[in-house]
Structure 1
Protein backbone atom coordinates (compact mmCIF):
# COMPACT_ATOMS: atom_id res chain seq x y z
CA UNK A 1 0.00 0.00 0.00
CA UNK A 2 1.52 3.37 -0.99
CA UNK A 3 2.23 6.02 1.60
CA UNK A 4 -0.59 8.46 2.28
CA UNK A 5 -0.26 11.83 0.52
CA UNK A 6 0.65 14.84 2.60
CA UNK A 7 -2.00 17.47 2.01
CA UNK A 8 -2.87 20.93 3.30
CA UNK A 9 -5.86 20.06 5.50
CA UNK A 10 -7.12 23.59 6.17
CA UNK A 11 -6.98 24.37 2.42
CA UNK A 12 -8.98 21.21 1.62
CA UNK A 13 -11.58 22.04 4.28
CA UNK A 14 -11.86 25.60 2.96
CA UNK A 15 -12.33 24.44 -0.62
CA UNK A 16 -15.10 22.02 0.38
CA UNK A 17 -16.85 24.55 2.64
CA UNK A 18 -16.82 27.24 -0.05
CA UNK A 19 -18.61 24.88 -2.43
CA UNK A 20 -15.87 24.22 -4.99
CA UNK A 21 -16.78 21.26 -7.21
CA UNK A 22 -15.34 17.84 -6.37
CA UNK A 23 -13.52 17.51 -9.72
CA UNK A 24 -11.69 20.81 -9.19
CA UNK A 25 -10.59 19.81 -5.68
CA UNK A 26 -9.38 16.45 -7.02
CA UNK A 27 -7.27 18.24 -9.66
CA UNK A 28 -5.72 20.62 -7.11
CA UNK A 29 -4.74 17.83 -4.70
CA UNK A 30 -4.06 15.24 -7.45
CA UNK A 31 -6.53 12.70 -6.06
CA UNK A 32 -7.32 9.80 -8.39
CA UNK A 33 -10.67 8.88 -6.84
CA UNK A 34 -13.50 10.50 -4.93
CA UNK A 35 -12.80 8.02 -2.11
CA UNK A 36 -9.32 9.51 -1.66
CA UNK A 37 -10.85 12.97 -1.48
CA UNK A 38 -13.37 11.87 1.17
CA UNK A 39 -10.73 10.06 3.23
CA UNK A 40 -8.40 13.07 3.25
CA UNK A 41 -11.28 15.43 3.96
CA UNK A 42 -12.37 13.35 6.96
CA UNK A 43 -8.77 13.18 8.22
CA UNK A 44 -8.46 16.98 7.87
CA UNK A 45 -11.73 17.51 9.79
CA UNK A 46 -10.54 15.24 12.62
CA UNK A 47 -7.16 17.00 12.84
CA UNK A 48 -8.91 20.38 12.90
CA UNK A 49 -11.20 19.22 15.70
CA UNK A 50 -14.34 19.61 13.59
CA UNK A 51 -15.12 15.88 13.69
CA UNK A 52 -14.47 13.40 16.50
CA UNK A 53 -11.50 11.06 16.13
CA UNK A 54 -12.34 7.54 15.03
CA UNK A 55 -11.08 5.06 17.59
CA UNK A 56 -9.02 2.23 16.15
CA UNK A 57 -7.36 -0.87 17.51
CA UNK A 58 -3.91 0.51 16.88
CA UNK A 59 -1.84 2.82 18.99
CA UNK A 60 -2.65 2.94 22.67
CA UNK A 61 -2.83 -0.17 24.82
CA UNK A 62 -6.24 -1.44 25.81
CA UNK A 63 -7.69 -0.15 29.08
CA UNK A 64 -8.76 -3.67 30.12
CA UNK A 65 -6.25 -6.12 28.68
CA UNK A 66 -7.65 -9.52 27.88
CA UNK A 67 -7.04 -12.31 30.37
CA UNK A 68 -6.82 -14.85 27.54
CA UNK A 69 -3.66 -16.82 26.77
CA UNK A 70 -2.63 -18.59 23.60
CA UNK A 71 -1.23 -22.07 22.92
CA UNK A 72 1.29 -21.83 20.07
CA UNK A 73 1.76 -24.37 17.28
CA UNK A 74 4.61 -25.89 19.28
CA UNK A 75 2.46 -26.32 22.37
CA UNK A 76 3.88 -23.40 24.33
CA UNK A 77 1.48 -21.34 26.42
CA UNK A 78 1.86 -17.65 25.59
CA UNK A 79 0.87 -15.24 28.36
CA UNK A 80 0.62 -11.54 27.41
CA UNK A 81 3.35 -9.29 28.84
CA UNK A 82 0.78 -7.10 30.57
CA UNK A 83 -0.39 -10.12 32.60
CA UNK A 84 3.22 -11.16 33.37
CA UNK A 85 4.02 -7.65 34.66
CA UNK A 86 0.73 -7.45 36.59
CA UNK A 87 1.52 -10.71 38.42
CA UNK A 88 5.16 -9.79 39.10
CA UNK A 89 6.70 -12.65 37.11
CA UNK A 90 10.04 -12.31 35.35
CA UNK A 91 12.21 -14.22 32.89
CA UNK A 92 13.49 -17.47 34.38
CA UNK A 93 10.58 -18.06 36.77
CA UNK A 94 9.63 -21.75 37.03
CA UNK A 95 6.15 -23.13 37.63
CA UNK A 96 4.45 -26.43 38.30
CA UNK A 97 1.34 -27.03 36.22
CA UNK A 98 -1.64 -29.01 37.52
CA UNK A 99 -4.90 -29.96 35.97
CA UNK A 100 -7.82 -28.82 38.14
CA UNK A 101 -11.60 -29.11 37.95
CA UNK A 102 -11.82 -25.57 36.57
CA UNK A 103 -8.87 -25.81 34.14
CA UNK A 104 -5.19 -25.54 34.98
CA UNK A 105 -3.20 -24.11 37.86
CA UNK A 106 0.27 -22.55 37.71
CA UNK A 107 2.29 -22.47 40.92
CA UNK A 108 5.54 -20.51 41.11
CA UNK A 109 8.31 -22.87 42.27
CA UNK A 110 11.62 -21.22 41.46
CA UNK A 111 13.40 -17.88 41.22
Structure 2
Protein backbone atom coordinates (compact mmCIF):
# COMPACT_ATOMS: atom_id res chain seq x y z
CA UNK A 1 0.00 0.00 0.00
CA UNK A 2 1.54 3.34 -1.00
CA UNK A 3 2.16 6.06 1.55
CA UNK A 4 -0.73 8.44 2.10
CA UNK A 5 -0.46 11.66 0.12
CA UNK A 6 0.41 14.79 2.11
CA UNK A 7 -2.36 17.37 1.68
CA UNK A 8 -2.81 20.83 3.18
CA UNK A 9 -6.16 20.25 4.90
CA UNK A 10 -6.87 23.92 5.45
CA UNK A 11 -6.39 24.69 1.77
CA UNK A 12 -8.56 21.70 0.78
CA UNK A 13 -11.40 22.86 3.04
CA UNK A 14 -11.16 26.39 1.62
CA UNK A 15 -11.37 25.03 -1.94
CA UNK A 16 -14.49 23.01 -1.14
CA UNK A 17 -16.15 25.90 0.75
CA UNK A 18 -15.46 28.28 -2.15
CA UNK A 19 -17.73 26.17 -4.34
CA UNK A 20 -15.12 24.92 -6.80
CA UNK A 21 -16.22 21.85 -8.78
CA UNK A 22 -14.79 18.52 -7.64
CA UNK A 23 -12.89 18.06 -10.91
CA UNK A 24 -10.99 21.33 -10.40
CA UNK A 25 -10.12 20.46 -6.80
CA UNK A 26 -8.93 17.01 -7.89
CA UNK A 27 -6.63 18.59 -10.51
CA UNK A 28 -5.32 21.18 -8.04
CA UNK A 29 -4.44 18.56 -5.40
CA UNK A 30 -3.50 15.86 -7.95
CA UNK A 31 -6.06 13.32 -6.71
CA UNK A 32 -6.36 10.33 -9.04
CA UNK A 33 -9.84 9.24 -7.95
CA UNK A 34 -12.87 10.77 -6.32
CA UNK A 35 -12.49 8.25 -3.48
CA UNK A 36 -9.03 9.66 -2.77
CA UNK A 37 -10.46 13.18 -2.77
CA UNK A 38 -13.30 12.20 -0.41
CA UNK A 39 -10.96 10.42 1.97
CA UNK A 40 -8.72 13.49 2.28
CA UNK A 41 -11.75 15.76 2.61
CA UNK A 42 -13.08 13.64 5.48
CA UNK A 43 -9.64 13.67 7.13
CA UNK A 44 -9.57 17.47 6.79
CA UNK A 45 -13.01 17.76 8.39
CA UNK A 46 -11.95 15.55 11.31
CA UNK A 47 -8.65 17.41 11.79
CA UNK A 48 -10.44 20.76 11.86
CA UNK A 49 -12.97 19.49 14.41
CA UNK A 50 -15.97 19.98 12.11
CA UNK A 51 -16.63 16.23 12.04
CA UNK A 52 -15.93 13.90 14.96
CA UNK A 53 -13.07 11.43 14.51
CA UNK A 54 -14.14 7.94 13.50
CA UNK A 55 -13.21 5.20 15.91
CA UNK A 56 -12.94 1.59 14.89
CA UNK A 57 -13.76 -1.34 17.09
CA UNK A 58 -10.32 -2.79 16.46
CA UNK A 59 -8.33 -0.75 18.93
CA UNK A 60 -7.26 -2.80 21.88
CA UNK A 61 -8.67 -1.81 25.24
CA UNK A 62 -5.29 -2.65 26.71
CA UNK A 63 -3.02 0.13 25.51
CA UNK A 64 0.06 -1.46 27.04
CA UNK A 65 1.93 -3.63 24.53
CA UNK A 66 1.80 -7.37 25.04
CA UNK A 67 4.81 -8.82 26.76
CA UNK A 68 4.79 -12.13 24.97
CA UNK A 69 7.12 -14.27 22.93
CA UNK A 70 6.28 -17.04 20.47
CA UNK A 71 7.95 -19.86 18.56
CA UNK A 72 8.08 -19.35 14.79
CA UNK A 73 7.53 -22.18 12.32
CA UNK A 74 11.33 -22.37 11.94
CA UNK A 75 11.64 -23.07 15.66
CA UNK A 76 13.03 -19.67 16.65
CA UNK A 77 11.78 -17.94 19.76
CA UNK A 78 10.57 -14.46 18.75
CA UNK A 79 10.58 -11.72 21.39
CA UNK A 80 8.87 -8.41 20.62
CA UNK A 81 11.00 -5.35 19.90
CA UNK A 82 9.37 -3.55 22.83
CA UNK A 83 10.57 -6.22 25.25
CA UNK A 84 14.04 -6.26 23.70
CA UNK A 85 14.38 -2.48 24.14
CA UNK A 86 12.87 -2.57 27.64
CA UNK A 87 15.38 -5.21 28.76
CA UNK A 88 18.31 -3.32 27.22
CA UNK A 89 19.29 -6.08 24.80
CA UNK A 90 21.14 -5.27 21.58
CA UNK A 91 21.77 -7.10 18.34
CA UNK A 92 24.30 -9.89 18.77
CA UNK A 93 23.68 -10.47 22.50
CA UNK A 94 24.03 -14.15 23.50
CA UNK A 95 22.13 -15.97 26.21
CA UNK A 96 22.34 -19.25 28.04
CA UNK A 97 18.95 -20.98 28.12
CA UNK A 98 17.86 -23.48 30.73
CA UNK A 99 14.65 -25.17 31.71
CA UNK A 100 13.28 -24.32 35.16
CA UNK A 101 10.29 -25.52 37.18
CA UNK A 102 8.33 -22.42 36.20
CA UNK A 103 9.35 -22.37 32.52
CA UNK A 104 12.60 -21.22 30.95
CA UNK A 105 15.38 -18.91 32.03
CA UNK A 106 17.48 -16.67 29.79
CA UNK A 107 20.75 -15.42 31.19
CA UNK A 108 22.77 -12.89 29.20
CA UNK A 109 26.31 -14.09 28.56
CA UNK A 110 29.19 -11.65 28.87
1:72 is displaced (CA, Å) by 1.7
Aligned to 1:75: 75
For residues 7-44 of structure 1, the C-alpha deviation after alignment (integer angstroms, 9 at most, x for no partner) is 44322101222343434423443433221111222333
For residues 31-72 of structure 1, the C-alpha deviation after alignment (integer angstroms, 9 at most, x for no partner) is 3322111122233345556556678xxxxxx95121221212
The reply to whether residue 36 of structure 1 matches residue 36 of structure 2 is yes
Answer yes or no: is the 8 Å Cα contact 1:97–1:107 preserved in 2. Answer: no
Q: TM-score, normalised by structure 1?
A: 0.58
Aligned to 2:104: 105
- Where structure 1 has 5 or more consecutive residues not aligned to the other structure, the ranges are 56-61
- Where structure 2 has 5 or more consecutive residues not aligned to the other structure, the ranges are 56-61
Aligned residues: 103
For residues 70-109 of structure 1, the C-alpha deviation after alignment (integer angstroms, 9 at most, x for no partner) is 21222111112322444466612212024x5x7x332538
> Aligned partners of 1:5 and 1:52: how far apart in 2?
22
Mapping 1:61-72, distance limit 5 Å: 63-72=63-72
Q: 1:63 to 1:34 in 2, by over 3 A?
A: same
Q: Following TM superposition, where does structure 1 have runs of at least 4 consecutive aligned residues deviating by more than 6 angstroms?
A: 52-55
